[in-house]
Amino acid sequence: MAKLDLDGLERDMTAWRRDLHSHPEFGFEEKRTAAFVAAKLREFGLDEVAEGIGGTGVVGTLRRGSGNRAIALRADMDALRIAEQGDLAYRSKTAGTMHACGHDGHTAMLLGAARLLAAEGGFDGTVRFVFQPAEEWGKGALAMLADGLMERFPFDEIYGLHNMPGLAVGRFETRPGPIMSAEDNFEIVLKGVGGHAARPHAGNEVLVAACALVTNLQTIVSRRLSPADIGVVSVTELITDGTRNALPGLARILGDARSFRPEVSAEIEKQMRIIAEGTAIAHNVAAEVTYSREFVPLVNDAALVDEAFAAARTVFAADLVATAREPMTGSEDFARFLDHVPGCFVFVGNGERSAPLHNPSYDFNDDGLIHGARLHAAIVQRRLGPEPV
């Protein structure tokens, strides 16, 4: 088959990415995005395009040769409830929603890979292009799996990527074993008796107890976990029913915890309940703890990491292919697929001066699009071997 014009592909991916950026959609609301993706996949000549998988997910299937193995490539499509700052010509047209994590770029890169592989082939087997909704709140992968993803579109292994601010464009990193953490959410409700700000002794207000509890929770990682374990406990909200001259009788403390092993997650929850109860007793108020597990740890298959490195060296400069020094405590629901098949998740550079992820000034760097598309294609062509003549 004829080689695809990569310069033309890069220009098209940039146009796709900017169109998606202008029309961000929150998780399970990605109707326009999904329709855009499905139309492009059909335009590229894929064998099958299925829509509505897990709500708004799309799965494209491309077959070449007679091989019976299948590989999945996954991209996330959803945006965040963040108001975009800046004056980009293609800035978000949806108030209060923006692509602040680069899922527009991930989607464009996987579309580019689909076009590249459909045009050039070079593999013997089946590729599943999995465009997933609702990654940001950890529900999209589970929804696709619950909708029969593995049964309807079976595959033997899966690969995904994420852009990374701070890494140079053209840089590739991954690591075997744990690479991204679990995320647990918690809410602690303190209940007492509020009253007049001038008469705190007449009730059992909760604000002092809440402040003490926020501080005490910091001892979970520093004093109650082994120094050999990675853990993070972050309080992100403290909400009360008080006002300028009224002491609160109700306080809500919300936040999240990160870890890489189920045993550590369980210990964080156990210690949180002990500390919350003890702090409440000390301040003569009541405490209720709600603890949920939203994301599981993402653990790369060591053999497939080696394969990803080998593929990356055909795309990236040799000195820009590196092992990530340590796991990161962000979370990613790509991990849910790894409960079913082995896989590998990698990072590609978004530029050393890029704004951070989830920042209102963030933008995906279009210079990285071609690297991601070629990486996806290289993994397929390596893992499924050459197409028979």
What tens digit of pLDDT does each residue of 326-383 get? 999 999 999 999 999 999 999 999 999 999 999 999 999 999 999 999 999 999 999 9
Query: In which band, very low, low, confident or very high, does the pLDDT at 196 lie, cut at 50, 70 and 90?
Result: very high
pLDDT at 2: 72
Tell me the CA distances in angstroms from 207 to 152, 194, 213, 246, 254, one per residue in order.
53, 9, 10, 11, 14
pLDDT at 30: 98
Model's pTM, two decimal places? 0.93
pLDDT at 1: 60
pLDDT, average across residues 249-260? 98
Kindly state the tokens that stand for 295: 């994301």
Kindly state the tokens that stand for 333: 């629901």
CA gap 360, 96 in Å, rounded: 10
- 58 pLDDT above the threshold of 90: yes
- 194 pLDDT above the threshold of 70: yes
- CA torsion through residues 32, 150, 337, 256, sign: positive
CA angle, corner 163, sides to 171 and 86, nearest 5?
115
pLDDT at 387: 73
Domains of the chain (ranges plus CATH)?
6-180+297-383 (3.40.630.10), 182-295 (3.30.70.360)
- 389 pLDDT above the threshold of 70: no
What pLDDT, in 10s, does the model give residues 283-320?
A: 999 999 999 999 999 999 999 999 999 999 999 999 99
Tell me the CA distances in angstroms from 368 to 89, 324, 373, one per residue in order.
19, 18, 9
